[in-house]
Copies of this chain bind each other. A is one copy, B any other.
Amino acid sequence: MKIKIDRQSSKGLAKQIADQLRRLIQEGELRLDERLPSTRLLSKELEINRITVTQAYKELMAEGLVRSGVGSGTYVSFRGGASDSTQSAKLDRSNYASRFSSGVLALWRDEQEAPQMGPSSEDPIHFATLVPDEKYFPVQAFRDCLDEVMGREGSRLLQYCGTSGYPPLREYIAERMREEGIPASPEEILMVNGAQQGIDLVLRCFLSPGDKIAISLPTYHNIFPLIGLLGAGAAPVRLTDQGPDLESLEAAARDPAVRLLYSMPNFHNPTGVTSSLAHRKGIADIAARYDLPILEDDFEKDLAFLDESLPPIKALDRGGRVTYLSTFSKSLFPGLRIGWLMATGDTLKALLLLKKATDLENSALLQAAAYEFCSRGYYDEHLKKIRVMIRKRMEASFDALSRYMPDGVTWNEPRGGYALWIRLPEGVSSRRIYERGREAGILVSPGTLFTYQGSDPGGIRLSLTKTDENEIRRGLEKLGRIITEETRSLKSPGPATEEPSQHL
């Protein structure tokens, strides 16, 4: 390491080290994912206290320039050096690093690492985003509800309505939660601007810079920018077909930097996994033993297309540790921007303060129209229709996968939601499948999108929101051919296995 310290300087030693490392990272001398020397080694080399080196590393961590890796090393998490001309929307780095907050620096890093979606054919088959199909939107019914509530209580709905949200909708939501085994009262429901804001508020509630959140990977990709923005990190947890691996979760919970567990027990995004009852109990139990809060993200809760449903973790929560999150975005309309949190005690109070500080409140008008829609029974009618639609698409997918996928490709059968996860044969790059699919007019989401540092979990996500059964069959037939070719090219001698040549 080219680091020098000056014991005569008025600048503290930790600061001197952090400043030099920052420059090396920004100039690309220390490269993305490179491991820094251990604190023990560097302190020995520089003949200083190990704590001082740890302080310097922490400072860089808060700035999003380095991260703790699995195990205990520290790795560069910023791509410095000469600018990468493939990134058109990139920010001027020198300006950026000096002017903006450490949180924005981390956001920017995250944006750089996210797969860039390139151009595709004009009319692709679209398996790539969890955006519900507007062909199924009950537009006229909602229009009637909007007009009804505007006529009945228009001036009140255009006014501020209070941080928690529109009371009748909160009553309706609390009642539905009680039916699902959660003893919720309307006062415990906090309306938020979509599930994404719910996640932002809960992370801001529990994570300080340097803290970690335990997450089963792969996971919902839009949580990563929020973790970086807070100067926090992720403690990865292994995911099984039955839910998060409990030993791996407990190992994360033992890490004193871990302050929050993130869980998606129903129709996990991107894998579609539904956690078993034993796993739900196990998660609640680990949270209790280590006294850790849980964010339970149940964003597709109303999209179960099999009859049996399992209790939410919140229903198993005895210590008030779970903050429960759901939304209308996948089951009704994303454009309403209506999500909600349910929490109790101090956590509820803290979340109310956070909501008020960050944007005061949600629009009462949209909440009132959503309530009118639900209370007329339109929401349940709509759910019936889309559950049948999703189930048919899932079944068409299972059938097409069996027909067209080569040996070594596996998938599980979700019990609800739009996401279907395809595990690729070992060694096949999800990124490569994504790119070849795109060229062939089949848009899928590569697994690299859903991991913390862009590593490849060896799978792709199919979203069944926008594809009908015919498209599913056509799309998966083409995709099967691509995966077959990529698998063969791995086994054949000849071109480098990592980057199969273009003409395959």
Q: A interface vs B, CB < 8 Å?
A: 11-15, 49, 51-52, 54-55, 62-63, 89, 91-92, 95-96, 99-104, 107-108, 111, 131-132, 134-135, 137, 139-140, 142-143, 146-147, 150-151, 154-161, 192-194, 196-197, 200, 204-209, 211, 222, 225-226, 229-231, 259, 291, 293, 333-337, 346, 349-350, 353-354, 356-366
Distance of A88 from chain B, by nearest CB (Å): 11
The interface centre, meaning the residue of A154, A225, A231 with most chain B CB atoms within 10 A of its CB, is A154
Evaluate contact between A208 and B346: CB separation under 8 angstroms. no
CB-based nearest B residue for A205: B104
Evaluate contact between A111 and B353: CB separation under 8 angstroms. yes
If A62-B209, A101-B206, A357-B222 touch, whether A363 touches B346 (CB-CB below 8 Å) is: no
CB-based nearest B residue for A352: B89
If A62-B209, A142-B154, A363-B366 touch, whether A100 touches B350 (CB-CB below 8 Å) is: yes
Closest 9 CB pairs of A and B: A12-B51, A158-B333, A197-B359, A139-B154, A225-B357, A158-B335, A143-B150, A134-B155, A193-B359
CB-based nearest B residue for A107: B353
Return chain B residues, CB-CB under 8 Å to A12: 49, 51-52, 54-55
If A137-B158, A146-B150 touch, whether A95 touches B346 (CB-CB below 8 Å) is: yes
Return chain B residues, CB-CB under 8 Å to A132: 159
| 8 sampled A-B residue pairs with Cβ under 8 A | A12-B55, A100-B205, A101-B230, A143-B154, A159-B335, A209-B231, A229-B357, A337-B362
Give the contacting residue for A200; candidates B54, B137, B230, B357; CB below 8 A: B357
Return chain B residues, CB-CB under 8 Å to A15: 51
Chain A contact residues, majority secondary structure: helix
CB-based nearest B residue for A228: B357
Evaluate contact between A137 and B154: CB separation under 8 angstroms. yes
Give the contacting residue for A349; candidates B63, B91, B208, B334; CB below 8 A: B91
Q: How far is the CA of A157 from the CA of B146 in the complex (A)?
A: 13
Q: How far is the CA of A363 from the CA of B226 in the complex (A)?
A: 21
Evaluate contact between B155 and A139: CB separation under 8 angstroms. yes
If A91-B349, A363-B335 touch, whether A197 touches B358 (CB-CB below 8 Å) is: yes
Give the contacting residue for A363; candidates B99, B103, B229, B363; CB below 8 A: B363
Return chain B residues, CB-CB under 8 Å to A353: 104, 107-108, 111, 225
Return chain B residues, CB-CB under 8 Å to A197: 358-359
CB-based nearest B residue for A362: B337
Distance of A206 from chain B, by nearest CB (Å): 6
User: Knowing that A101-B207, A139-B155 are A-B contacts, what are 9 other residue pairs whose CB atoms are under 8 Å apart, sorted by A's residue number?
Assistant: A101-B230, A102-B208, A103-B204, A104-B353, A134-B159, A192-B359, A226-B357, A358-B358, A365-B366
CB-based nearest B residue for A204: B103
Distance of A494 from chain B, by nearest CB (Å): 42
Return chain B residues, CB-CB under 8 Å to A259: 99, 101
Return chain B residues, CB-CB under 8 Å to A111: 353
Evaluate contact between B350 and A363: CB separation under 8 angstroms. no
CB-based nearest B residue for A361: B337
Evaluate contact between A101 and B150: CB separation under 8 angstroms. no
If A142-B154, A336-B365 touch, whether A359 touches B104 (CB-CB below 8 Å) is: no
Give the contacting residue for A354; candidates B107, B131, B230; CB below 8 A: B107
Return chain B residues, CB-CB under 8 Å to A11: 51
Return chain B residues, CB-CB under 8 Å to A101: 204-208, 211, 230, 259
Return chain B residues, CB-CB under 8 Å to A350: 91, 96, 100, 104, 107-108
Return chain B residues, CB-CB under 8 Å to A160: 131, 334-335
Evaluate contact between B196 and A360: CB separation under 8 angstroms. yes
Q: How far is the CA of A211 from the CA of B63 in the complex (A)?
A: 13
